[in-house]
Structure 1
């Protein structure tokens, strides 16, 4: 059962944000898949997963950030070339919390991220090794919400959006490898975000701003071990932007000077039988000058909703000797 819960983690999907002039340019939030054996195929069935991430950002950032990621996955009976096909959907939400009260403090806000739809092709290679491929898109152009910052007094802060990533659909591709023997979960997961760029929100919704969106790459690392129903171990994750150069006049580079950042921490989990819960904490250990330091606390719940009823074995005929 342990392996089945961990495998569910091929799913958690969301985005990162920053409210300064530089942007951690990745729609998929770094670290969203740590603690999960994303390389292992799921047993056939339907699963629900919810992850909430809270970023406590160091001063002088005026905001803390929360991200909620509900996910539904159908692990289908289809196994072309020996790989399980898993279909998934996720409608993430981002929250920002102003740190200072009073009229000049920043107002709290929430932003709807474009719903993610995608699929996974996961292979059991034997000897407790697995590998998976993921592909899909965040449909930001259909239901992405730009988000703007305002003071508690109602004044607009700046002239751009909080999340320029949402001006374009985000195309997501990933590859993961996992070892799940002897209660271990040793997993490495690479996730690429590719954008239609340059892009804008259109319809005059964003002051005529055109964004140059940097493609990016995330790395999530997990090394945990099960002790009975408990799980404990180490995690690490980070992101890197590919294009941080200056752009032409009239085009805002949404990753200007922000090469990326990397965090490390630990994870504790417990298997309740009907569900599995995990809590993990990480702290920035390296970053580019334009990025930010933060302590991130995340909680996750994984629940199986349906699995096919096993087919009853046909009784063997009784043979009597006379």
Structure 2
């Protein structure tokens, strides 16, 4: 089966999505599609340590019964005072947890592979930001998730002027070994795109969101590549130190998932500490 993963933002979708009677078991994107929706992923964090938890519950309309999947993605993000090429150096640790009932079967649950990553985030101009993340999902002995190591990269661009959060975030995964240790599953490389277009009104935030995912071409002729496109809406509220977001998404198109997914999401962003004396990043352009 496919592994659960993700960053602040990433997780298993395959527990719920395996086909029946297939020669080669199907596997969705290893980084849960839609997991970074709502985050201004290109913007550098202020220097400090943050806890970010994204949890979701969804039902896919598989037959004869729907497939249920709950994914929890707790993570810690350390925004260091150090810079690389003018960008903030940040470190990410994520430990996903998932529970799934496939087509009405008994629930299975377990820990996903730990994600360890480094990220550099730049302020390019006053309201335009970009980030690049490089990391790896570590091998796992848990059989209900992917067990092989995965190299993971993320690229984000954010515009945040006038209370807007306009973010495009691409997530790319390279599986270092495509066949599971027991030879029962096949893991393709993947590409996801998470999109956010929200607006703040005082402490409130609201707007449309969308995401897409696809397995990349493989050399395995028996493998049926999976993909999906989902749209939805987000609402958030800034309580001061804690920022909460909730959004709902629904697949408008899918390929080889055997049903469309409807999913509710909830996120909490909690600063554990901030360095109030650390200066903000200067724009890379226009210094």
Q: Please classify the TM superposition score into its range, dividing by the shorter chain length.
A: 0.7 to 0.9
Answer 1 or 2: higher relative contact order, Cα 8 Å, separation at least 6: 2
Gap change, CA 1:29 and 1:144, over 3 Å in 2: farther
Distance in 2 (CA, whole Å) between partners of 1:97 and 1:307 is: 40
Shift of 1:291: 4.6
Gap change, CA 1:169 and 1:10, over 3 Å in 2: closer
Distance in 1 (CA, whole Å) between partners of 2:159 and 2:276 is: 28
Q: Contact 1:276/1:302 (CA < 8 Å) preserved in 2?
A: yes
The one-character-per-residue Cα deviations of 1:250-287 (angstroms, maximum 9, x if unpaired) are: xxx6xx22341100000000000020100000101111
Shift of 1:20: 2.4
Q: Contact 1:197/1:212 (CA < 8 Å) preserved in 2?
A: no
Aligned residue for 1:109?
108
Q: How many residues align?
A: 266
Aligned residue for 1:271?
238
Q: Contact 2:203/2:238 (CA < 8 Å) preserved in 1?
A: yes
- Provide the aligned C-alpha RMSD in A: 2.0
In the alignment, structure 1 segments of 5+ residues that lack a partner are 1-8, 101-105, 148-162, 248-252, 312-322
1:306 aligns with 2:269: no
In the alignment, structure 2 segments of 5+ residues that lack a partner are 1-5, 20-24, 279-287
Aligned residue for 2:189?
215
Among residues 194, 218, 228, which one is paired with 1:261 in the alignment? Answer: 228
TM-score, scaled to structure 1? 0.78
Aligned residue for 2:155?
175
Distance in 2 (CA, whole Å) between partners of 1:305 and 1:16 is: 30
Distance in 2 (CA, whole Å) between partners of 1:234 and 1:144 is: 38
Aligned residue for 2:18?
20
1:30 aligns with 2:68: no
Distance in 2 (CA, whole Å) between partners of 1:212 and 1:107 is: 23
Please identify which structure carries the higher helix content: 1
Q: The residue matched to 1:78 in structure 2 has which SS?
A: strand
1:239 aligns with 2:213: yes
Distance in 2 (CA, whole Å) between partners of 1:211 and 1:261 is: 20
Q: The residue matched to 1:135 in structure 2 has which SS?
A: strand
Q: Contact 2:120/2:133 (CA < 8 Å) preserved in 1?
A: yes
1:145 aligns with 2:142: yes
Distance in 1 (CA, whole Å) between partners of 2:153 and 2:214 is: 15
Matches within 5 A, 1:82-101: 82-97=86-101, 100=104
Distance in 2 (CA, whole Å) between partners of 1:10 and 1:84 is: 17
